[in-house]
Amino acid sequence: MLLRKMMVVTIGMVLLFVAVPSTLKAQDSACAVSLNGESAEDYLARGQHYANDLLDTPCALADFSAAIELDASLVDAYIGRARLYMETDAYDLALADLDAAYQLDPQNATVLALRGRVYAGPNAVDTLGGPFLNLYLGYTGYGDDYLSAINDLDQAVGLDPNNIEVILAYGDFYGINEDYESAISQYSIAIDLYPDDPRGYYYRAFAYLKIARAISSDRTLTPEVSDDLNRVVELAPDSRWGIYAQGFLLDMHGDFPAAIDEYERGTQLYPNDAAMHYRMAYAITAMIFGRPLERGSNERGLVAMARAVELAPYSTLYWVRQGFMVVTLDIDFTLALTDHQHALEISPDFPPALLNLAGLHTFSQQYRDCEQSAAYLDDVLFIYGPERVRAVQEFKDFEATFAQRCIESAGPEMVDVGSPLYPSGSIYTLGIRPLMLENVPGSPSGMVVCSPGTESTVVRTAQNPDDGLTYVYLQCDGGEGWILETLLR
């Protein structure tokens, strides 16, 4: 029997939920062979082989843990396990291991560099799904302890300035803080010192891309971006970085099916790499927004995300992301509450989960509770504290927005407008994604779900005088309500 777990996220006017199984293990039977009579160093060596060569998340984790159990002073075992936790975005667990490693060896530049990265937060340089997508996948303010990050990174530079982990970590720090020129300088240093390491080229490409996207929304890749990503593919076509780079290049050139196939090739090469399965699921989710994908892509994305969670069930953020993805691709509201409670069982003070619960109690007619929503947001602000200025401001903005939208309203007086695309009485056929209709245009006070592949009838097209946007009122198999006209195109 599967215990269902809930996740809720909101994107703009859309409320998302998820259900996932709990009968997942962090270790496969294939890697449960004990090295009887062997030393902690033997487990460490095998764990490094699993982690670096086979990209086998659960097996590497099991061996690093066994090494630590046999010898709690083995710094490299803590580093190896912390890397796995970072790859799967279990930053709280990574921080605990890096703190332990630091206590054992406070002069270890790699430990300081990695801990500085954890303090800074997940690297958003190569996450290009748009602000809402990245936000609700759990990036908001996660980490965001910049003073601690700077302290560790500066110490690491003083100890070993040519350590590639130190150089890349500082580049990532600049990227997280949107100083892309400085990030490019750091990645260029890494390339000069380590020309055969694909990571410098990979992250520099996305720093270049962030600068280009700030100037223009044109999807055409600049020569700097293309050259760096192609260099990654040349250096290591079958590595994690090579597959990420090739998949992204195919995506940007408009060959979405080939991009998905490339990510799936990675999951076939490394079936136990949680990060690879997640990258495939994330890519499919990002592609689906505003782009037509072949039928069946939804299922491939869901399978990939489920496998990522299976391989790394300790990652609370993976559960959050699965919540976003499953509901984006296959909406199911009924299991929302129990799923989200499970996320908080793993990490009771996890800000993205608390934010999503606030969204549940704001945007869901079934679970609407304005006081509870405000309480969850207050919890988030308390967790972060006033020193994390950016995170606090973002959550204060959410608090104000949620409070406004949590008030029941009859809505504005809509002004009918003509629409050659959606005339009254016409039939609109849904694609591979469900549609979310609002009871009140521009201020969700309850949602109606229209099933994928079904037909809906256009009742009227009207403009909301409050925001100046055009909405379409549809009748579908799930009921009737408003949706932004641009979301139908």
Q: What is the pLDDT of residue 40?
A: 95
Question: So where are the chain's domains?
Answer: 5-353, 415-488
Q: What is the pLDDT of residue 420?
A: 78
Instruction: Name the burial class of residue 332, with classes exposed (0-12), middle (13-18) and buried (19+) by CB atoms within 10 angstroms of its CB.
Output: middle
Alpha-carbon span 66 to 188, nearest angstrom: 38
Could you tell me what percent of the chain has a pLDDT over 70? 73
CATH class of 415-488: mainly beta
Q: CB-based contacts of 250: which residues, under 8 Å, 6+ apart?
A: 256, 258, 259, 262
For residue 369, give both structure tokens.
């509770």
Per-residue pLDDT of the chain (489 residues; tens, 9 = 90+): 222 233 333 323 233 323 333 323 334 446 656 666 689 999 999 999 999 999 999 999 999 999 999 999 999 999 999 999 999 988 889 999 999 999 999 999 999 999 999 988 765 444 443 333 333 334 334 455 778 889 999 999 999 999 999 999 999 999 888 899 999 999 999 999 999 999 999 999 999 998 887 776 677 889 999 999 999 999 999 999 999 999 999 988 888 889 999 999 999 999 999 999 999 988 887 766 545 445 456 778 888 988 999 999 998 888 877 777 766 665 556 566 666 777 788 888 887 778 777 877 776 666 778 888 888 888 877 776 665 555 566 666 666 666 666 665 446 677 888 777 888 888 888 776 677 777 766 555 456 778 777 888 888 888 877 777 888 888 888 778 888 887 776
Q: What is the pLDDT of residue 217?
A: 66
* Amino acid present at 349: D
* Amino acid present at 243: I
Q: CB-based contacts of 45: which residues, under 8 Å, 6+ apart?
A: none
Are 422 and 441 within 8 A, CB to CB? no
Q: What is the pLDDT of residue 17?
A: 29
pTM attached to this predicted model: 0.74
Alpha-carbon span 456 to 475, nearest angstrom: 5
Q: How many CB atoms lie within 10 A of CB 387?
A: 11
Q: Which phi and psi angles does 14 have, rounded to 5°?
A: -110, 130
Q: Just give the CATH number of 5-353.
A: 1.25.40.10
Alpha-carbon span 259 to 251, nearest angstrom: 5
Of 111, 139, 141, nearest in space to 126 by CA? 139
